Every structure is written in structure tokens, then in C-alpha cells.
A and B are shown apart, each in its own frame.
Chain A
Amino acid sequence: MMIPVRCFTCGKVIGEHYEEFEERSQRGEDPAAVLDDLGVDRHCCRRMMVSHTDLVDVVAPYQ
């Protein structure tokens, strides 16, 4: 649904970076370079960002 606030494994706050990550990688930047730049270094935090899909738009009509 929404990006989790924290990384499931280590607890680092990652939610705040998701919108920028999504926007910059959609614009064609290398996602790995964007994550490095945002300070999301550990692979546990990186998978949170890479594997996430926002489903709010999908669920919204059925409220």
C-alpha cells in the first residue's frame, strides 16, 4: 500500500526517501546510484525501496 516507514530488518527510517527515489529513477537515473546518493546503503534497506509497489491508487475506488 504505502511505503513502510522503516526498514523491516534494521529499523532505519526509509519512508522519507521513497518519493525522491521513485521520481529520480523514473526519470532514467540509475536506481543504484540514487540509493547511494540518498544514503540507503545496506541491502536490507535497499530491497524495501526496490521491491515496493504503491497500491493506494488501485485500492482507492473501492473505499
Chain B
Amino acid sequence: MAQEFDVEFIEREDRKARFLVRGLTPALANGFRRAMIADVPTFSIDTVRFTENSSVMFDEMIALRLGLVPLTTPLDDFEIGDAVTVALDVEGPATAYSGDIETSDALVVPADENVPIIELKEGQRLEFEADAVLDRGKEHAKHQGGVSVGFRHLQAVEVVDDVGEFDDQEPQILRGVIETPDGEVVLTDEFDNDLTNRYPGKELDVTDVPGAYVFHVETDGSLSVDELVLRAAEELGSRADELHDAVTV
């Protein structure tokens, strides 16, 4: 299936994007969504060796919180299973933040610096060494790079008729992205998700555009949106190849 897809960006930021893809089947769109969530690997703290923990939380609770802190993941330089050592040493009274975590590799650092790990009181101390491991989202949810990844149909809006002069017009709420009669692609946020704001006094017909899907992608900061989307496509392709090789004799 060597086929070109038509991709159009509606919103594009570093960690958040919305884009329209034409020429997809529902199965392929969902495969792509799942690849973004479960198949693109990210670094996450896995094994923690505590030297001292006199905080109010148990070791396990702190280890769980550490696992959820996103770490930047340069996928070109690492392979699945690679580990990077990280360490932290904070003495109270202070709050240990994700930014206090020191790593052995300058490429792998906490993506957000201000995530509080634990608040330490006078005389309390947290010191540990840990391994951050590169793995996929299907292994553990902490390795998911994509957050709230989803897609929905592009919806075409057509003006059918004028509303009768004395008829009341009810709000027509719609979410997502619409295609106007002149082929313009508009986010419903722009008219407060109510079609009657954009087409007052008109009777409208809304239909799903076949094969056109609007993806909403957010990342936790470990990868940029571009990287996540491209890697997911690559990952999906390589798995299809794997299946192809396994089936052909």
C-alpha cells in the first residue's frame, strides 16, 4: 500500500498539535493512534536504590512518582533497554523537585523542572541513585510519550436552506474540526462550538467526510510532537514489514 497521505496542520506547537490526514481507513487511523501511545519508546526511571529516605513517604511511593517524571528522549542515540543513571540528594527543609535530579547523560534530563517529588521537613533527607530505562508504552504506562492522543472524523458542513422567518433556532453544538462549503478547514473553538454562531439563520447539514481524520496529539515533553508522530509512523511501518516477512515464504 504505497499511497500518499495528504496532511494539513491546524494547530502546531512543540508539545501539542492538531492535524488533518486524508486518505486513511479507520483501521489505519486507529493503528496510528495506538502506535503513538504504545510503540514509541521513552525514558523513565525504573529501578531506584535508596541510600536515605527519612521523608513522610515510603520508598515505593517515591519510586512511583519518579517513574512518572518525563525525561527527554533522544531516540537517535539510544536503543530499547539502554539505561542512564540518575541521582538526587536533597536535605530538608526543602522540596525535592524533578529539576534536582542529576543525570549521567546530558541528553537525558527531566523535561519539566518544577514537578515536586516530596516536601522535606527539618532533618529529613532524600538520597538515591536510580536507572532510567528506555522502553515502550505497552510495557508500562510511564513509558508512553503521547498523552491524550485521539482522532475524529472531519465533518463537512453544508448550508441547505434558510431557517423559516418565525422559527426559533436552537444551538447546534459541534466539536472538532469542520470543513466549510468553500473547502476551508476551521476549528470549532473559533465559533464557540456552536454552528449557529457561524451560520446564523441557516439550516445546516453535517456529514462525516470519508477517509479524513483529525488527530489531536499531545506529548508529555519527552519527545516533540513531530518526533512522536514520525516515530509512530516508522514503528507502524516496521511492524507491517515484520508481519510481511513472517508470512511470505
**CB neighbours of B41 from chain A (8 A):** none
**CB neighbours of A47 from chain B (8 A):** none
**Which residues of A1-48 have CB atoms within 8 Å of chain B's CB atoms?**
1-6, 10-13, 15-16, 18-19, 42
Does B238 sit within 8 A of A, measured CB to CB?
Answer: no
Name which residue of chain B comes closest to A19, CB basis. Answer: B116
**Which residues of A44-58 have CB atoms within 8 Å of chain B's CB atoms?**
54, 56
Contact of B115 among A11, A13, A56, A59 (CB under 8 A): A13
- Interface 9-residue window, one of B26-34, B140-148, B156-164, B201-209: B140-148
A63 to B117: give the CA distance in the assembly, Å.
18
- Interface 9-residue window, one of B65-73, B128-136, B226-234: B65-73
**CB neighbours of B144 from chain A (8 A):** 11
Does B90 sit within 8 A of A, measured CB to CB?
Answer: no
Do A15 and B115 touch (CB < 8 A)? Answer: yes
Per-position 1/0 for B91-119, Cβ under 8 A of A: 00000001000000000000111111111
- Give the number of residues in A that approach B within 8 Å (Cβ atoms): 20
Contact of B118 among A2, A10, A42, A63 (CB under 8 A): A2
A53 to B115: give the CA distance in the assembly, Å.
16
**CB neighbours of B119 from chain A (8 A):** 2, 54, 56
Do B221 and A13 touch (CB < 8 A)? Answer: yes
**CB neighbours of B57 from chain A (8 A):** 1-2
**CB neighbours of A12 from chain B (8 A):** 147-148, 218, 220
**Which residues of B29-63 have CB atoms within 8 Å of chain A's CB atoms?**
54, 56-57, 61
Does B121 sit within 8 A of A, measured CB to CB?
Answer: yes
Report if A15-B116 is in contact (Cβ < 8 Å); known contacts: A10-B148, A56-B56. yes
Minimum CB–CB distance from B221 to chain A (whole Å) comes to: 7
Minimum CB–CB distance from B192 to chain A (whole Å) comes to: 15
**CB neighbours of B54 from chain A (8 A):** 63
**CB neighbours of B115 from chain A (8 A):** 5, 13, 15-16
Q: Which of A1, A3, A6 has the most CB of B within 10 A?
A: A6
A-B contact pairs, 25 of them (CB 8 A): A1-B56, A2-B57, A2-B65, A2-B116, A3-B116, A4-B65, A4-B68, A5-B65, A10-B147, A11-B148, A12-B220, A13-B69, A13-B70, A13-B111, A13-B115, A13-B221, A15-B114, A15-B115, A16-B113, A16-B114, A16-B116, A19-B114, A42-B148, A63-B54, A63-B56
Enumerate chain A interface residues (CB-CB to B < 8 A): 1-6, 10-13, 15-16, 18-19, 42, 54, 56, 59-60, 63
Q: Which 8 A-B pairs have the closest CB atoms?
A: A5-B68, A16-B114, A15-B115, A10-B148, A56-B119, A11-B147, A59-B56, A16-B115
